Amino acid sequence: MSAEAQSLTLLNTVAFVLCFTFCAYVLSILVFHLRLPRSRGGSPWGFEWHVIIPCRNEAAVIRTTVQHLLRDFPQMTIWCVDDASDDDTLAELASFADEPRVRVVVRRLPDARQGKGAALNAAWRLLDESLHAEVDRARVIVGVVDADSQLDPQCLVALSGQRYFGAPEVGAVQLEVRMLQCAPARHASPIALSRWGRLLVRLQDMEFRAPIAAMQSLRRRTGSVAMGGNGQFTRLGLLDEIAKEDGTPWHGALLEDFELGLHILLVGGRTEYCPDSWVAQEALTKVRPLVRQRTRWAQGSMQCGRYFSRVLGSARISNAAALEIAHFLTAPWIQLLGIPVYLGCLAVLVSYFQRTTGGLGGWWSSGGGWSLPPLVVVFGIAPFALWGIVYRVRCEPHLTIPRAIALGMCHWLYSYAQTLAVWLAFARIVTARSDWQKTARAGDQARAEALPVAVPVQAVSVQAVSVQPGHAHLQEG
């Protein structure tokens, strides 16, 4: 066998293994997802609920979000962390100064803007100081939601059920995430989107409610449910345990939510996924911000690779959970490997065509080309496109079958954004870049233009005061 033939055989073997492994994984998460049962809720009044909202330049949406939380969840205390915003976020939060269930944590430079994890830790410290010493910290639930979020009004009922916090062994729960075309905001009319923008919104919603939800369904079986950056809820006692071992609950990875989930498992906590309720957030409507966001996620998962040995060596994490986490941590690196492997196969194949009598046409007419389209469909397109049908069956039954199939095909093309993001993340790691800027939303500019002139931040009283139960304060962090 010639060296060229050996190279082609090796590359084809590696490519086949990668494709087969991916298809097997897709099939496994699909089976668990379609069999996922629903559960009954419970009474939220048996718990003490706190929600932290990190805020950096969220003037357009934060008041509406807080108002909705106050209206829908009378048993909830809301902690808003202003992370040195340079818009009118703090002025908007000042309107809740007389609301006893709203606490504002003010962070100023140079301590501010150190990442989302640092902002969450600041709120956690003040929340901890505000509680009575005799409180049952296992029944204090701390949630994290984004400033543009909408929580299902029945989410606390769902979270209180026996499958979730109603079970003492469950330490943290992640809600299903949904995507909105535009988050509600003050003084702003609905944002008109192009057909392309609406398609991106739909594809992101399908991504979270179909393949990502399916991954979480598998993780429920393996005991490795991952936390998300929006809609995560954790027992305060478990956050305390993480802080005892690692200093603070949240840490410095760009994927601080997944990192928290790892720490929960490492201290012996159990995580759960709740498809019985949801949190909705604003989707991105342009490709460039989407790729930038996914680059941050990919880099964050690469950063979490430092926990690989701890996860594999932990007696508190089951073998099944450790294997699933190992798969997630290695996935970006496998994607990096896959691209040169597939390109190598293509290069060797082209060279082979050039040396074959009749070239590509001769190879195709001799019957070799008939095997190529089925392989592309089975291993390349189908694992992505099938999620359009799953999305229709599980989430959006009003979609027609042709439209669901079309969405699935678009999802196949949409997936290449993640491939690009992995390479951009790798480049950032090679160049030792870990800084990050907040992703701009579709309606930020339009909302900013629609907002009236607000009270200057300097005019708002934000003096540091002690936090007392039953009183709202603007607290300097």
pLDDT score of 393 more than 50: yes
Beta bridge partners of 232: 144, 174
369 pLDDT band, cuts 50/70/90, is: low
pTM for this prediction: 0.85
Please tell me what DSSP assigns to residue 10.
H
pLDDT at 32: 72
Closest CA to 326 of 317, 338, 336, 315: 317
Regarding the domain with residue range 44-195+223-328, which homologous superfamily does it belong to in the CATH classification? Spore Coat Polysaccharide Biosynthesis Protein SpsA; Chain A (3.90.550.10)
Residue 80 buriedness (CB in 10 A; 0-12 / 13-18 / 19+): buried
pLDDT at 371: 60
CA 398 from centre of chain: 26
**Three-state DSSP string of 418-457:** HHHHHHHHHHHHHCCCCCCCCCCCCCHHHHHHHCCCCCCH
pLDDT digits (tens, 9 = 90+) for 142-197: 999 999 999 999 999 999 999 999 999 999 999 999 998 876 655 455 567 788 99
pLDDT digits (tens, 9 = 90+) for 14-41: 766 777 677 777 777 777 777 777 778 8
| Contact present, 423 and 336 (Cβ < 8 Å) | yes
CA separation for the pair 394, 35 (Å, rounded): 11
CA 183 from centre of chain: 17
Closest CA to 379 of 345, 425, 328: 345
pLDDT digits (tens, 9 = 90+) for 304-331: 999 999 999 999 999 999 999 999 999 9
CA separation for the pair 335, 302 (Å, rounded): 12
CA separation for the pair 212, 206 (Å, rounded): 9
pLDDT digits (tens, 9 = 90+) for 94-140: 999 999 999 999 999 988 899 899 999 999 999 999 999 899 999 99
Q: Compute the CA torsion angle 95, 97, 102, 108 (nearest 10 deg).
A: 90
Beta strand extents in 56-201 (DSSP E only) = 76-83, 102-107, 140-144, 150-151, 170-180
Closest CA to 236 of 95, 123, 327, 117: 123
Look at 52-56, 135-139, 460-464 and tell me which has the smallest mean pLDDT: 460-464
Closest CA to 391 of 257, 192, 213: 213
Coil, strand, or helix at residue 458? Answer: helix
CA separation for the pair 108, 50 (Å, rounded): 23
CA separation for the pair 243, 250 (Å, rounded): 8
Q: Looking at residues 246-269, what average pLDDT do you find? A: 94
Closest CA to 278 of 395, 441, 186: 395
What are the φ and ψ backbone dihedral angles of 104, each rounded to 5 degrees? Answer: -115, 125
pLDDT at 461: 32
Contacts of 185 (CB under 8 A, 6+ apart): 60, 61, 64, 443, 447
Contacts of 153 (CB under 8 A, 6+ apart): 72, 73
Question: Which has more confidence, 19 or 221?
Answer: 221
pLDDT score of 400 more than 60: yes
Amino acid occupying residue 405: I
470 pLDDT band, cuts 50/70/90, is: very low
Using CA atoms, how far residue 455 sits from 90, 94, 98, in Å, is 9, 9, 17
Amino acid occupying residue 42: G
What are the φ and ψ backbone dihedral angles of 436, each rounded to 5 degrees? Answer: -155, 145
Query: What is the DSSP annotation of 299-319?
Result: HHHHHGGGGHHHHHH-TTS-H
Closest CA to 52 of 82, 79, 83, 90: 79
What are the φ and ψ backbone dihedral angles of 277, each rounded to 5 degrees? Answer: -145, -175
Look at 2-16, 139-153, 265-279, 360-374 and tell me which has the smallest mean pLDDT: 360-374
Amino acid occupying residue 77: T
273 pLDDT band, cuts 50/70/90, is: very high
Beta bridge partners of 52: 79, 144
